[in-house]
């Protein structure tokens, strides 16, 4: 009797075990990757901000892990995004640039003949091959067209995403909701550009006429052309800029031109939620939710306007958090909160140069807050590359843990591969590491001994995690020159990476980040220990350099020049339309 009982009980346990292993091994996790734009590490509640309200992101940290030393692979948009999607340093994919700006920027056109090469494998392609449904909602910024304005060669639909709803490029000030930026621009241009130049041209024409060089007909013809030219110049910098740069796309089609920002947050949430709903019944999915926030132009839906304690920027952050909350509620509603791996991060640190030029907010900060960290967007000081990151995956990640060893956004790619049970591409170097052993607590060792920090194509700094002395060192070989008393360099946009406006450090500046996270006091290179660190990192750099296969550079003067005639247009010749939300 008792033996039978024990046998039965054992059998029961056995069956339970089999069933539960079957259940966990059969159900592939879903992935939701949230990416904020230009958000600083000091902007989020769970990263120490006590006046900004980010309950949704904070809840992810409470129910999962907070990564306090997570680094991006580049301090600017396009290369950082390329690295997130591919798990590789941008230098390997051709997304590291020799130009100072280093991002895909399209002057007066969305078209620029460059982007993330198609032979790079994105995390969407990786899981799509394993039967996942994939979507990107929001900002892409990794290329548009190659040979014609309609080949969409670099679009996300050609990089593993089944569905795309968002902006192929980036948000810019000209897309601003109330057009006040444009008004300010027009005002300045009109006075400086149109009026002064017109006056100068008129004087020259009259003088030439009086001298008898030019007849009346000549004056009229040349005058007419000057007016046309000035008009065009002025229009292309203002109205056209907004019309052609600020487009909303669904898969291949422009569905809104220019994008209407005051309702975009709700529409993006609805798009994400209906994608998850559609997919949930069929199989696993991957959602890449790439916010337009918190890049300028800062926009808000009506009820978030003035809701924060930190001006338009704070409102923008809080609205983004609300969007995160909406997606999380949908996951719970669908019963998928447990089986979904969620990763929230930013593409790099807050932009120090973003300050309002519009009255009455002249001088108000419009960029992210990088907390105690030095520098910001475009720089390899911690403020430019350390990003606020939280990860939740209840089956494997304990609640409320904190990971303080250096990790990288490139780790997302191999982590997704490991959880989805797919092999990594074997024909190329993957620089990211599977984070699961660290997040589950089965491994304490840091996943990266060395992380290399590029500014464009130039390796300017290295983070070295030394297990032996339980320390994290940061070595700077080249730093941008920053005027005394300032936080950013004297450039309109990005700091230079090499040349006259930078300083080369030989020996490099060495910081002990555990003791000095704000990079204020370089260690004196006087003792053997420091020289030992420097020589180990030098060796790591040579090894890293040897692993790089030269590829064609994407972001060059030629590719960025684009063509003004290749503009997106939803209804030629008007190129102006609004999304019909009923379709």
Ligand X SMILES: *[C@@H]1O[C@H](CO)[C@@H](O)[C@H](O)[C@H]1NC(C)=O
Q: Would you call 415 exposed, middle or buried from its count of C-beta atoms within 10 A (0-12, 13-18, 19+)?
A: buried
Least distance (Å) between residue 49 CB and ligand X: 4
Residue among 46, 69, 77, 455 flagged as catalytic: 77
Least distance (Å) between residue 272 CB and ligand X: 15
Is there a catalytic annotation at residue 152?
no
User: From residue 262 to residue 291, what is the string marking binding to ligand X with x (rule CB under 6 A)?
Assistant: ------------------------------
Distance CA 466, CA 97 (A): 30
H or E element in which residue 560 lies:
helix 557-561
String of DSSP letters for 308-355: SSSHHHHHHHHHHHHHHHHHHHHHHHTT-STTEEEEEEESS---TT-B
Nearest by Cα to 106 from 168, 154, 176, 18? 168
Helices and strands in the chain, H and E counts: 16, 16
Is there a catalytic annotation at residue 77?
yes
Size of the site for ligand X (CB under 6 A): 17
Least distance (Å) between residue 172 CB and ligand X: 20
Residues 154 and 146 sit within 8 Å (Cβ to Cβ): yes
Site for ligand X in 364-403 (CB under 6 A): 368-369, 371
User: From residue 310 to residue 349, what is the string marking binding to ligand X with x (rule CB under 6 A)?
Assistant: x--xx-------x---------------------------
Site for ligand X in 481-510 (CB under 6 A): none
Identify the residue among 37, 38, 43, 63 touching ligand X (CB under 6 A): 43
String of DSSP letters for 286-316: EEEEE--TTSSSP---GGGTT-SSSHHHHHH
Site for ligand X in 50-69 (CB under 6 A): 50-52
Find the distance separating the first CA and the last CA of the chain, reported in whole Å: 68
With respect to ligand X, which residue has the nearer C-beta, 322 or 343? 322
83: its two tokens: 């690295």
- Would you mind telling me the total number of residues written for the chain in this entry? 583
With respect to ligand X, which residue has the nearer C-beta, 113 or 312? 312
With respect to ligand X, which residue has the nearer C-beta, 251 or 266? 266
The sign of the torsion formed by the CA atoms of 168, 169, 170, 173 equals negative
With respect to ligand X, which residue has the nearer C-beta, 102 or 314? 314
Site for ligand X in 293-312 (CB under 6 A): 303-304, 307, 310
What are the φ/ψ torsions at residue 550 (nearest 5 degrees)?
Answer: -60, 135
Least distance (Å) between residue 383 CB and ligand X: 12
Of the listed pieces 43-51, 217-225, 432-440, 452-460, which binds ligand X according to CB under 6 A?
A: 43-51
User: From residue 78 to residue 117, what is the string marking binding to ligand X with x (rule CB under 6 A)?
Assistant: ----------------------------------------
Active site residues: 77, 141
* Residue ranges that bind ligand X, judged by CB under 6 A: 42-43, 48-52, 303-304, 307, 310, 313-314, 322, 368-369, 371
């Amino acid at each position: 009797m008792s033996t039978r009982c024990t046998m039965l009980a054992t059998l029961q346990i056995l069956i339970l075990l089999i069933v539960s292993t079957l259940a966990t091994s059969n159900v592939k996790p879903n992935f939701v990757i949230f990416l904020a734009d230009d958000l600083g590490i000091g902007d989020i509640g769970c990263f120490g901000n006590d006046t900004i309200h980010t309950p949704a992101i904070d809840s992810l940290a409470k129910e999962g892990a907070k990564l306090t030393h997570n680094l991006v692979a580049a301090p600017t948009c396009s290369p950082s995004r390329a690295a997130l999607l591919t798990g590789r340093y941008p230098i390997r994919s051709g997304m590291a640039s020799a130009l100072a700006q280093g991002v895909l920027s399209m002057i007066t056109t969305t078209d620029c003949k460059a982007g993330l090469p198609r032979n790079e494998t994105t995390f969407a392609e990786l899981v799509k091959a394993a039967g996942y449904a994939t979507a990107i909602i929001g900002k892409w910024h990794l290329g548009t067209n190659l040979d014609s304005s309609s080949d969409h060669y670099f679009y996300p639909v050609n990089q593993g995403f089944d569905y795309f709803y968002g902006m192929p490029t980036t948000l810019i000030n000209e897309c601003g909701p109330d057009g006040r930026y444009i008004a300010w621009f027009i005002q300045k241009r009109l006075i400086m550009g149109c009026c002064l130049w017109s006056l100068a041209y008129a004087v020259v024409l009259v003088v030439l006429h009086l001298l008898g060089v030019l007849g009346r007909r000549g004056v009229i013809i040349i005058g007419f052309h000057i007016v046309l030219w000035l008009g065009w110049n002025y229009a292309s910098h203002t109205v056209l800029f907004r019309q052609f740069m600020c487009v909303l796309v669904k898969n291949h089609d422009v569905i809104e031109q220019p994008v209407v920002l005051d309702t975009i947050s709700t529409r993006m949430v609805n798009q994400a939620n209906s994608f998850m709903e559609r997919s949930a019944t069929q199989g696993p999915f991957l959602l890449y939710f790439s916010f337009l926030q918190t890049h300028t132009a800062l926009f808000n839906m009506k009820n978030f306007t003035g809701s924060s304690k930190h001006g338009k920027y704070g409102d923008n952050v809080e609205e983004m958090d609300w969007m995160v909350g909406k997606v999380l509620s949908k996951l719970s509603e669908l019963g998928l909160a447990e089986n979904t791996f969620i990763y929230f991060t930013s593409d790099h640190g807050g932009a120090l140069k973003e300050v309002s030029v519009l009255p009455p907010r002249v001088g108000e900060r419009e960029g992210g807050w990088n907390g105690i960290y030095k520098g910001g967007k475009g720089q390899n000081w911690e403020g430019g590359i350390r990003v606020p990151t939280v990860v939740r995956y209840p089956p494997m990640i304990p609640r409320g843990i904190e990971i303080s060893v250096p990790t990288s956004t490139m780790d997302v790619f191999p982590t997704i591969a490991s959880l989805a049970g797919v092999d990594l591409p074997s024909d190329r170097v993957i620089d990211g590491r599977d984070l699961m052993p660290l997040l589950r607590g089965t491994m304490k060792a840091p996943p990266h001994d060395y992380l290399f920090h590029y500014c464009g194509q130039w390796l300017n700094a290295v983070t070295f995690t030394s297990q032996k002395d339980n320390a994290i060192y940061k070595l700077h070989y080249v730093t941008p020159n920053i005027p005394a008393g300032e936080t950013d360099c004297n450039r309109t946009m990005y700091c230079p990476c090499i040349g006259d406006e930078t300083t080369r450090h030989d020996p490099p500046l060495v910081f002990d980040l555990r003791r000095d996270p704000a990079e204020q006091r370089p260690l004196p290179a006087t003792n053997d220990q420091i020289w030992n660190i420097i020589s180990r990192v030098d060796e790591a750099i040579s090894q890293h350099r040897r692993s790089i296969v030269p590829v064609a550079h994407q972001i060059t003067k030629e590719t960025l020049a684009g063509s003004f005639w290749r503009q997106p247009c939803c209804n030629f010749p008007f190129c102006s339309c609004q999304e019909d939300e009923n379709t």
